Amino acid sequence: MPFPTQRLRRLRATESLRGLVRETHLHPGQFILPLFVCPGEGVRREIGSMPGNYQMSIDEIVKECAEVEALGISGVILFGLPESKDEMASGAYDDHGIVQRAIRAIRAETSRLLIVTDVCNCEYTSHGHCGFIKDGDVDNDTTLQWLAKSALSHARAGAHIVAPSDMMDGRVWAIRQALDANGYEKIPILSYAAKFASVFYGPFREAAESAPQFGDRRSYQMDPANGREAMREIELDLQEGADMIMVKPAMPYLDLICQARQRFDVPIAAYQVSGEYSMIMAAVRNGWLDHDRAMMESLTSITRAGAGIILTYFAKSAARLLA
């Protein structure tokens, strides 16, 4: 018997009732905060398009990580701005590279915080592409060797999880082989499995100084129009040995987070990327949106869609609000 017997507004009448029947809850433990490590000392340079986020030198990153850990956030994901870039992305797999040094420094000052590393080459190549350029395109199989070396050097430095974001075919397999052959069979792989060639990475490329110097990333990152192909990407990465998978960006791809949740019984992460953050912050700065409500609604939607883990630039603000 529908109306007037059934009245869904009954359970919305007070915050106590709403709290009782709430289906989705956020907690700081589901967040991973992206951080940008740069050379120098005492450097804390705000990223123009991402208010509240900074390029930080290793000493500053260590302080930041202590704070992140105290807020109950599970982990950080590190992106490096190397001293110099070259055609071979040498800085990506150098045992004394910027990220490798940052990992060691953070490990020395934290106990519970998970250090995740982004395994990719675009921040380290002079041309800004994610791998070795051959005939004007990124050569897949040469790039796999760089990625395997990078992941291994991160593990050696003490990373807890490696997260390849390059979208080369076979990278999860290549990384798993390299880790296992060197005694790192316990290091999990969080694969950026369904990563789209998205305009929403714009502010990140300013933050990480990694914009491609020619062309774009459409020959390796996915076409935003393709949902079925995203499921194939996830399936293949799981077959190659991924322990967890990611959908990226998050809000424009909630349908795919939801489909992945229904199809694959593995932990699913979503990356609320730089452009998603910047859009909200720009509206907030104009007085058009309320910061806390926009932040929490976006994170709740991503969680409701099925992501148990969220990489987000809001991690600290959200954790503070949830405390």
Active site residue 316: no
Q: 28 or 80, CB closer to ligand PBG?
A: 80
Q: Does 165 help bind ligand PBG (rule: CB under 6 A)?
A: yes
Amino acid at 143: T
Residue 174 CA, distance from chain mean position = 20
User: Cβ atoms within 10 A of the Cβ of 284, count?
Assistant: 17
Q: Does 36 help bind ligand PBG (rule: CB under 6 A)?
A: no
The DSSP bridge partners found for residue 246 are 269
Residue 131 contacts residue 121 (beta carbons within 8 Å):
yes
Q: 59 or 206, CB closer to ligand PBG?
A: 206
Distance CA 117, CA 179 (A): 14
The token pair that represents 140 in the structure block: 């897949």
Tell the residue number behind the tokens 């930080």, with chain if given: 56
Q: Does 31 help bind ligand PBG (rule: CB under 6 A)?
A: no
Q: 11 or 199, CB closer to ligand PBG?
A: 199
The least distance separating ligand PBG from the CB of residue 17, rounded to whole angstroms, comes to 37
- Binding to ligand PBG in span 172-211, by CB under 6 A: 201, 204-205
Active site residue 195: yes
Q: Does 120 help bind ligand PBG (rule: CB under 6 A)?
A: yes
The residue from 85, 149, 195, 316 that is catalytic is 195
The least distance separating ligand PBG from the CB of residue 183, rounded to whole angstroms, comes to 27
Kindly determine how many residues on this chain lie close enough to bind ligand PBG according to the rule CB under 6 A. Answer: 11
Ramachandran bin of 44, using left for φ above 0, alpha for ψ from -120 to 50, beta for the remaining angles:
beta
Amino acid at 30: Q
Amino acid at 51: P
Provide the H-helix boundaries in the chain: 15-20, 58-70, 98-109, 140-157, 171-181, 202-207, 227-240, 254-263, 274-285, 291-305, 315-322
Tell the residue number behind the tokens 């079925």, with chain if given: 228
Select from 190, 251, 269, 273 the one that contacts ligand PBG (CB under 6 A). Answer: 273
Q: Does 130 help bind ligand PBG (rule: CB under 6 A)?
A: yes
The least distance separating ligand PBG from the CB of residue 251, rounded to whole angstroms, comes to 12
Q: 147 or 234, CB closer to ligand PBG?
A: 147
Residue 39 contacts residue 80 (beta carbons within 8 Å):
no
The least distance separating ligand PBG from the CB of residue 198, rounded to whole angstroms, comes to 8
Residue 77 contacts residue 117 (beta carbons within 8 Å):
yes
Q: Does 125 help bind ligand PBG (rule: CB under 6 A)?
A: no
The least distance separating ligand PBG from the CB of residue 15, rounded to whole angstroms, comes to 33
- Binding to ligand PBG in span 80-119, by CB under 6 A: 118
Residues with a catalytic annotation lie at 195, 248
Residues forming the site for ligand PBG (CB under 6 A): 118, 120, 122, 130, 165, 201, 204-205, 217, 273-274
